[in-house]
């Protein structure tokens, strides 16, 4: 399959912006350059006229729980631990694989329609999540969430390992797998060591929540005499590639460990704000050389999966927290949401930029809009002015998944209907 995107304003992230064309063959970018300069030997099977549009790499949502779309609006305005123990965990106990499938498809639709082409997901019944990813056509890093203090901890780890064996590299390489220990307060060191050993055997990374709340910090220090970051280093977690979600409360010593160990961080500004967890020291982490991407967290704590809004929030929150309007400029935030997120997920060699050799994950934004005029800086517009409805076309692995805001891979109305039914049944049963 050969695809040609013509007449776009291209923000490649990996170099200067330009007005031009992108040629794709077998899911890979084979040319990106000025208008009319595509080699004459390239014969496209599909051509998209992107006049009046901006082309960017697809957005990368570094941390979410996709099927929690079913709980959107169900458990609002609560502290994290009360939110988990009183509302979320009880209803999650009622989830079926079918529920998770429809909730994940709903999440996929929402992400697709807001420009996200890749997401990192930690949940359970992950075969059904992978099925949804395969059908809708997105790219995903998936892991089974693991609770080490439960009576099914070892069985869950075995299930997570089997999932990784089945799905790592599946869907033509669009699905990658990790192991997903939930957090230090639900996974004691002895259990984490088992997870690390399994990660080494399978050669996959780890996806964990770290330093999300002050309560977590205080509990860990009371029990182990150190911060969660120090505990994870002593446990051996950071010997493996790690995606650490949140990292809100960090000391300078913690930041040094994360930087030295090459840990990738998923910054979730809106979820952290809504749960009053705090403001992550993103500027300090970046200054230390830590890889930081952006995530939404689940729709039960955000309440959406809108990476466009998340970019704006990330930028503005750091500016007010630091008292410095120059921190996290628009270009850096866009890089965090694309190439930076790809690096955090260990996919930086495959996605995140629009350059020859990368997989063709491309978003076309309709910038012929009053709120995006005049065109002084499209990078600034995408971070500070754009909305999810400005996403016109989404391409993943060279395949057009949405064109003119019409989803081409799944029946949107059927997904809304089935997900709504599942959500109503669950909430009525709690």
Residues 126 and 251 in one domain: yes
**What's the pLDDT at 187?**
98
Q: Provide the 8-state DSSP code for 62.
A: E
Give the pairing of strands 28-34 and 18-25. antiparallel
Chain CA centroid to CA 239, Å: 23
Which parts of the chain sit beneath pLDDT 50? none
3-state secondary structure of 14: coil
Residues 201 and 83 in one domain: yes
Give the end of a domain, one of 320, 344, 368. Answer: 344
- Dihedral angle, C-alpha 241, 243, 248, 252, nearest 10 °: 10
CB 261 within 8 A of CB 238: yes
3-state secondary structure of 361: coil
- Rounded CA gap, 137 and 396, in Å? 7
**What's the pLDDT at 293?**
98
Residues 332 and 302 in one domain: yes
CB 240 within 8 A of CB 201: no
**What's the pLDDT at 220?**
97
158 assigned to some structural domain:
yes
- Rounded CA gap, 284 and 77, in Å? 29
E strand segments, 247-390: 264-267, 291-294, 362-366
Residues 279 and 147 in one domain: yes
CB 226 within 8 A of CB 235: no
E strand segments, 11-115: 18-25, 28-34, 46-49, 53-57, 59-64
CA geometry: angle 279, 294, 119, nearest 5 deg: 140
Q: Looking at the 3D structure of the chain, how many domains does it have?
A: 2
Rama region for 27: left / alpha / beta (φ>0; ψ in -120 to 50; rest): left
Q: Which residues contact 8 (CB under 8 A, 6 or more apart)?
A: 19, 20, 21, 22, 50, 51, 53, 54, 55, 364
- Rounded CA gap, 138 and 157, in Å? 26
- Rounded CA gap, 124 and 126, in Å? 5
Residues 17 and 86 in one domain: no
Residues 97 and 115 in one domain: yes
Residues 107 and 204 in one domain: yes
413 assigned to some structural domain:
no
Instruction: Provide the residue range defining the domain that includes 47.
Output: 2-56+359-407
Residue 284 CB neighbour total at 10 angstroms: 15
Residue 69: closest CA among 18, 27, 119: 119
- Rounded CA gap, 109 and 122, in Å? 18
**What's the pLDDT at 65?**
98
Give the end of a domain, one of 297, 318, 344. Answer: 344
Residues 119 and 89 in one domain: yes
CB 280 within 8 A of CB 266: no
395 assigned to some structural domain:
yes
Residue 120: closest CA among 100, 143, 136: 143
**What's the pLDDT at 80?**
84
**What's the pLDDT at 40?**
85
Whole-number Cα distances in Å, 90 to 76, 194, 226 = 15, 27, 31
Residues 51 and 68 in one domain: no
Phi/psi at 297 (nearest 5 deg)?
65, -170
- Rounded CA gap, 246 and 265, in Å? 7
Q: Which residues contact 233 (CB under 8 A, 6 or more apart)?
A: 257, 261
425 assigned to some structural domain:
no
* Length of the chain (residues): 430
């Amino acid at each position: 399959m050969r695809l040609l995107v013509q007449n776009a304003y291209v923000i490649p992230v990996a170099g200067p912006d330009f007005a031009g064309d992108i040629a794709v063959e077998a899911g890979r970018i084979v040319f990106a350059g000025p208008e009319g300069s595509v080699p004459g030997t390239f014969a496209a099977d599909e051509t998209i006229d992107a006049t009046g549009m901006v082309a960017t790499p697809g957005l990368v949502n570094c941390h979410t729980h996709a099927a929690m779309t079913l709980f959107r609006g169900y458990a609002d305005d609560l502290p994290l631990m009360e939110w988990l123990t009183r509302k979320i965990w009880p209803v999650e106990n009622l989830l079926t694989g079918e529920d998770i499938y429809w909730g994940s498809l709903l999440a996929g639709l929402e992400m697709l329609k807001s420009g996200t082409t890749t997401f990192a997901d930690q949940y359970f019944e992950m075969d059904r999540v992978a099925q949804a990813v395969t059908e809708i056509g997105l790219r995903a890093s998936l892991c089974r969430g693991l609770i080490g203090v439960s009576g099914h901890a070892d069985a869950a780890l075995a299930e997570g390992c089997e999932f990784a064996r089945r799905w790592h590299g599946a869907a033509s390489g669009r699905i990658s797998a990790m192991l997903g220990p939930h957090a230090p307060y639900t996974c004691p060191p002895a259990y984490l060591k088992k997870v690390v050993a399994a990660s080494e055997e399978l050669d996959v990374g780890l996806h964990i929540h770290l330093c999300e709340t002050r309560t977590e910090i205080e509990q860990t220090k009371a029990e182990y005499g150190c911060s969660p970051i120090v505990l994870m280093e002593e446990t051996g977690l950071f010997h493996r590639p790690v995606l650490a979600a949140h990292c809100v409360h960090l000391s300078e010593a913690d930041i040094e460990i994360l930087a030295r160990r090459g840990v990738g961080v998923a910054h979730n500004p809106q979820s952290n704000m809504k749960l009053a967890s705090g403001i992550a020291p993103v500027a300090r982490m970046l200054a230390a050389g830590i890889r930081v991407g952006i995530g939404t967290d689940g729709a039960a704590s955000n309440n959406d999966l809108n990476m466009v809004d998340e970019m704006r929030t990330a930028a503005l929150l750091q500016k007010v927290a630091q008292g410095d309007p120059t921190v996290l400029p628009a270009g850096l935030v866009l890089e965090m949401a694309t190439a930076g997120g790809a690096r955090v997920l260990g996919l930086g060699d495959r996605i995140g930029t629009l350059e020859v050799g990368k997989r063709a994950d491309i978003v076309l934004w309709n910038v012929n809009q009053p709120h995006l005029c005049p065109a002084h800086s499209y990078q600034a517009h995408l971070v500070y002015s754009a909305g999810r409805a400005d996403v016109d076309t989404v391409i993943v692995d060279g395949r057009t998944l949405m064109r003119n805001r019409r989803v081409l891979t799944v029946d949107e109305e059927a997904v809304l209907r089935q997900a709504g039914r599942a959500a109503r049944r669950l909430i009525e049963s709690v």
